[in-house]
Amino acid sequence: MTAAHPMVELWRGGLLESTHAGHAVIWGPEGIEDSWGDPDKVIFPRSSCKMIQALPLVETGAADALGLTPAHLAFACASHQGEARHVKLAGDWLAAIGLAEPDLRCGAHEPYDRDERNRLIKSDESPCQLHNNCSGKHCGFLTVARHLKAGPEYVEIDHPLQRMIREATEEVTGETVAGYGIDGCSAPNFAVTVAGLARAMQAFAAAREDGDGRARAMQRLARAMATHPELVAGEGRACTELMRAMGHAVALKTGAEAVFVAILPEQKRGIALKIVDGGTRGSEAAITALLIRAGVLDPGHPAALKRLGGVQRNWRGLETGTVRAAPGFPR
Amino acid sequence: MTAAHPMVELWRGGLLESTHAGHAVIWGPEGIEDSWGDPDKVIFPRSSCKMIQALPLVETGAADALGLTPAHLAFACASHQGEARHVKLAGDWLAAIGLAEPDLRCGAHEPYDRDERNRLIKSDESPCQLHNNCSGKHCGFLTVARHLKAGPEYVEIDHPLQRMIREATEEVTGETVAGYGIDGCSAPNFAVTVAGLARAMQAFAAAREDGDGRARAMQRLARAMATHPELVAGEGRACTELMRAMGHAVALKTGAEAVFVAILPEQKRGIALKIVDGGTRGSEAAITALLIRAGVLDPGHPAALKRLGGVQRNWRGLETGTVRAAPGFPR
């Protein structure tokens, strides 16, 4: 087992203050092209695998039966921040399948979006499950469950939907899942290796519209994500800003505890990484470094500099430090 | 240079999900008693050194000239969360020295306290510098600057106050500072080793009321912190909850980027630690483990379990995982 590889450094006053190490794999048409740390490290992909969890939505025909648009598919893969448009999309989607907010099983939390958060506070409203960053995924889950005429407890590990997700996960990663944990949104999250996750992302990258059913579903989901960055995360967030910065040519997805994946269709490459400490600062900087290296992201773009190489400032606008790639990373 | 030592693990679904490694030193009456990682690692103590930064407040006689109470001294060492009582204390203090909010140089940010945050939002008020988590320290800084009849730009590196803080830092750590960075609150933050910081905390722990001027100042500050945990951080926060859990017998202080220090007067011991990834989850769990090992914190106390060993739950109350000490830590 290889140790985690140093990837990201925080500098302040000319001194190294903090460091992030992790595991990363780039999977190309011929297999692993490059890796850092331990490719076989078992991780929880958390929300980074939402496009895998959305495969049954397309493959069962549930999406087409309901006439879902690419916006819906992007939203099914989202960790959104509860902006008004996200909340409306989730509510409208549930209504379209004859369900409502109480049918969700994701739980409620305060939205990350400040406008919507402030609106709730000013009107003495509590956040509801529509605000949960995973509500889009859960709308997709409920759509499949209804389509299959399966029970309402769609996050139970033995629910037909979760069985389908486990099977899809094993097929696209080429692995038997190493176990599962319960995610923040109560859905099962299947443990896979970093290499397996990168392999899956490569399959999404290589998938063509004229391929088999699996390939068509993958292509639609990855295309939907890259087309609608604002629905995959939200204003100011890494996935949204970086997908826009790359001209909608790459699909990106973050996951809790510092996982990040990228789908690069033009290069037929997939990337997966996990920063071992679980800190989002590290995973956002590391994926930025790998996207720059892949030639798909301009290192001088504001969305890149915000995560890597730019000047960090404090509350009074004074320069405090910078986040850099660790020496020798990505190489 | 010794590598960072594994200290904290996040487990989910029976699998290891994330890890935190760091450097820690326990300094006793005879010197270093125990250490993990590299005792000589140079770090920015960030807010963990606020009791050192407050030494000139007491030693110049500024505190007594103004009739400051132990509550004020605790607040001068605080990273508070902008609760109404914190904002009032800062405003009243400034008024007592004939100054006001614009004289602060800490910048404004939204308070972490939800009640005060919501009050601001509901009344369309912007947060002001009184809400800054460092406003207590800055009240102390301004008090010294006025007492010394020094200029108003008290966070400049060559201001007489900052020169005094640098000198005090070097005296209590037994080191020449390795440099300085600009902190989130715009004050200089002097880089020292983990061992030097632990040595300083031991000096605070061993200081007696009948000692010399330095010792008396140290004793007053540490006693004030332990007496007023609610002013050092705030409701729900680690410093506050853990100091209460230890019956006000220990002074604790967190610092940004995962620094934590402890002053144990009954044992005449000081502890300092830095988690290299800068994640607060790691530093809170690691100091909890070291306090338990020192015999001053009950591992079953809710304040301890919240940071180490307790069940973590998601938005629906389902068990998701637990934070544990890494194997062999603290030993």
Complete domains list, chain B, with CATH:
5-325 (3.40.710)
φ/ψ of B182, rounded to 5, equals -95, 125
**Residue B180 Cα, gap to closest chain A Cα (Å):** 6
Enclosing H/E stretch for A18: strand A15-28
Among the partner-chain residues B20, B181, B184, the one whose CB lies closest to the CB of A315 is: B184
Closest CA to A206 of A267, A247, A272: A267
Query: Which residues, 6+ apart, have CB-to-CB distance to A257 below 8 Å?
Result: A44, A46, A274, A278, B10, B17, B18
Distance in angstroms (rounded) separating the CA atoms of residues A257 and B312: 14
Closest CA to B80 of B265, B204, B232, B227: B232
Query: Which residues, 6+ apart, have CB-to-CB distance to B60 below 8 Å?
Result: B144, B147, B148, B164
Per-residue pLDDT in tens (0 to 9) along chain B, 331 residues: 689 999 999 999 999 999 999 999 999 999 999 999 999 999 999 999 999 999 999 999 999 999 999 999 999 999 999 999 999 999 999 999 999 999 999 999 999 999 999 999 999 999 999 999 999 999 999 999 999 999 999 999 999 999 999 999 999 999 999 999 999 999 999 999 999 999 999 999 999 999 999 999 999 999 999 999 999 999 999 999 999 999 999 999 999 999 999 999 999 999 999 999 999 999 999 999 999 999 999 999 999 999 999 999 999 999 999 999 999 999 8
What confidence score (pLDDT) does residue B1 get?
63
Which amino acid is residue B77, in one-letter code?
Answer: C
Which residues 4-43 in chain B show a CB within 8 A of chain A? 10, 12-15, 17-20, 42-43
Structure tokens at A273: 């990484």
What confidence score (pLDDT) does residue B4 get?
97
Q: Is A257 exposed, middle or buried (0-12, 13-18, 19+ CB in 10 A)?
A: buried
Q: Which residues of A touch B8 (CB under 8 A)?
A: none
Contact call for A277 and B17, based on CB within 8 A: no
What pLDDT, in 10s, does the model give residues A86-142?
999 999 999 999 999 999 999 999 999 999 999 999 999 999 999 999 999 999 999
Distance in angstroms (rounded) separating the CA atoms of residues A317 and A295: 32
Interchain contact A276–B (C-beta under 8 A): yes
DSSP assignment letter at B42: E
Distance in angstroms (rounded) separating the CA atoms of residues A25 and A174: 15
Distance in angstroms (rounded) separating the CA atoms of residues A11 and A16: 5
User: For chain B, how long is the longest CA-to-CA vector?
Assistant: 61
Closest CA to A105 of A166, A186, A50, A184: A186
Contact call for A13 and B122, based on CB within 8 A: no
Distance in angstroms (rounded) separating the CA atoms of residues A95 and A143: 11
**Residue A206 Cα, gap to closest chain B Cα (Å):** 29
Q: Which residues of A touch B181 (CB under 8 A)?
A: 12-15, 17, 320-321
What confidence score (pLDDT) does residue B8 get?
98
Q: Which residues of B touch A318 (CB under 8 A)?
A: 182, 186
Which residues 37-66 in chain A show a CB within 8 A of chain B? 42-44
What pLDDT, in 10s, does the model give residues A264-304?
999 999 999 999 999 999 999 999 999 999 999 999 999 99
What pLDDT, in 10s, does the model give residues A213-269?
999 999 999 999 999 999 999 999 999 999 999 999 999 999 999 999 999 999 999
**Residue A314 Cα, gap to closest chain B Cα (Å):** 5
Q: Is B30 exposed, middle or buried (0-12, 13-18, 19+ CB in 10 A)?
A: exposed
Q: Give the A:B interface size as CB pairs under 8 Å.
A: 138
For B31: left if phi > 0, alpha if psi spans -120 to 50, otherwise beta; the answer is left
Locate the chain A residue with the closest alpha carbon to B319: A182
ipTM of the complex: 0.97
What confidence score (pLDDT) does residue A1 get?
64
Distance in angstroms (rounded) separating the CA atoms of residues A205 and B293: 51
Q: Which residues of B touch A191 (CB under 8 A)?
A: 13, 15
Question: Per-residue pLDDT for A5 more than 70?
Answer: yes
Closest CA to A181 of A92, A290, A256: A256
B4, B279 Cβ separation under 8 angstroms: no
What confidence score (pLDDT) does residue B331 get?
85
CA distances for B90 relative to A150, B96, B136, B145, angstroms: 59, 10, 6, 16
Q: Which residues of B touch A13 (CB under 8 A)?
A: 44, 179-182, 189, 191
Interchain contact B130–A (C-beta under 8 A): no
Contact call for A182 and B12, based on CB within 8 A: yes
Q: Could you tell me which residue, B328 or A191, shows the higher pLDDT?
A: A191
Closest CA to A4 of A301, A308, A329, A275: A275
Contact call for A17 and B257, based on CB within 8 A: yes
pTM beyond 0.90: yes
DSSP-assigned states of every residue in B247-289: TT-SEEEEETTTEEEEEEGGGTEEEEEEETT--HHHHHHHHHH
SS3 assignment, position A150? coil
Distance in angstroms (rounded) separating the CA atoms of residues A104 and B36: 46
What confidence score (pLDDT) does residue A331 get?
85
Q: Which residues of A touch B179 (CB under 8 A)?
A: 13-15
Q: Does A330 sit behind a cis peptide bond, omega within 30 degrees of 0 on the bond before it?
A: yes
Distance in angstroms (rounded) separating the CA atoms of residues A294 and A238: 17
- Bridge partners for B322 per DSSP: B11, B311
Closest CA to B39 of B302, B271, B254, B268: B271
